[in-house]
Amino acid sequence: MSADDTSSGGDLVDPTVHLDEGAIDAALRPRHLAEFVGQIRVREQLGLVLSAASGRGAAPDHVLLSGPPGLGKTTLAMIIAAEINQPLRISSGPAIQHAGDLAAVLSSLTEGEVLFLDEIHRMARPAEEMLYLAMEDFRVDVVVGKGPGATAIPLDLPPFTLVGATTRAGLLPGPLRDRFGFTAHLDFYDPAELTSILVRSAELLEVTLKPGGATEIAGRSRGTPRVANRLLRRVRDFSEVRGDGVVDEATAKAALAIYDVDDMGLDRLDRSVLEALVRKFGGGPVGLSTLAVAVGEERETVEEVAEPYLVRAGLLARTPRGRIATPAAWEHLGVPQPTAGAAHASLFDPTEDDGSAE
């Protein structure tokens, strides 16, 4: 989605019209805090921040949203803009690799505008340092020229609200974190909250969703609304092609089996990691790089995509010597766990890569 798509500050898509796949995600996003399901504490705190700022006629404090992908950080940024009736500008940390890139964005902001920086932890350091001054004093220093003749020209900025989103808050430097007036961490959703989200999404998509179907999809959605909505669309496809268009429990189970999503929400990659850990390495410990090679994926993919949910689900553990499969992993795969002391660790070196214990 481009910045132009959201410049109206929340009037994204009319959900009453038939949507193509590219517009569905935008249509399913709640537009106001009252419509936002889950994150009750964050929603209450953010509502106070926005209401107080509106009462004073001032721009709200800068907001930092952290948490795993798919929990609603982008949606909350859109809601913030909608609640204060201001336009929204969208950019991301990887897109800002030079101070000049950030200066161009900041200098084009209008008074009160909301600037959303996704993956803010990936912004280049020179741009990061420029952002300190912009957030605190609404000013940037633009350097003209090079070498001894270079001159810094101060440029005043209109008051604006920065909304930063990050999946790795620990990578943000302290001076940047300290400049956010409100920091919120988004947690995973429980099945009841995901069921409410699915019911709302089904109404917007004009899908007949039965309670059993909603419960089945919610239970396999990894506590993540983005995953829940994606699974709903795939189950909808299955029900329209191979069923009568009604999503009930049986239809949801059959569809999710086709898409390799098991009853715990594990997909092909998750199961490949567990299968390799259990069947090839006897449950571990094994280094991350070795595990990635075994499943034919990049190390970063295993570490950032599969591993967080496997750890949270209690199927995988990180130890100083490497990754190990928990008893629950053996049980989930239906593989008998070897007796204690089984001689499998001598077949490989669990510490062959320097990231085994990360």
Considering 31, 43, 74, 166, which one is annotated as catalytic?
74
The first and second tokens of residue 77, run together, are: 């940024």
CA–CA dist 303, 291 (Å, integer):
10
> 305-326: b or e for each residue (b if 16 or more CB lie within 10 Å)?
bbbebbeebebbeeeebbbbbb
- Is 179 marked active-site? no
Of the chain, the end-to-end C-alpha distance in Å amounts to 34
DSSP string, 268-294: HHHHHHHHIIIIITTT--B-HHHHHHH
- Is 339 marked active-site? no
- Is 226 marked active-site? yes
Considering 29, 31, 43, 73, which one is annotated as catalytic?
73
Considering 6, 161, 167, 326, which one is annotated as catalytic?
167
> Is 326 in contact with 318 (CB distance < 8 Å)?
no
CA–CA dist 218, 238 (Å, integer):
17
- Is 5 marked active-site? no
Q: Quick one: CA torsion of 106, 108, 110, 114, rounded to 10 degrees?
A: -50
Count of residues making up the chain: 358
Phi, psi angles (nearest 5°) of residue 2:
-90, 170
Considering 43, 75, 118, 270, which one is annotated as catalytic?
118
- Is 74 marked active-site? yes
Active site residues: 73-74, 118, 167, 226
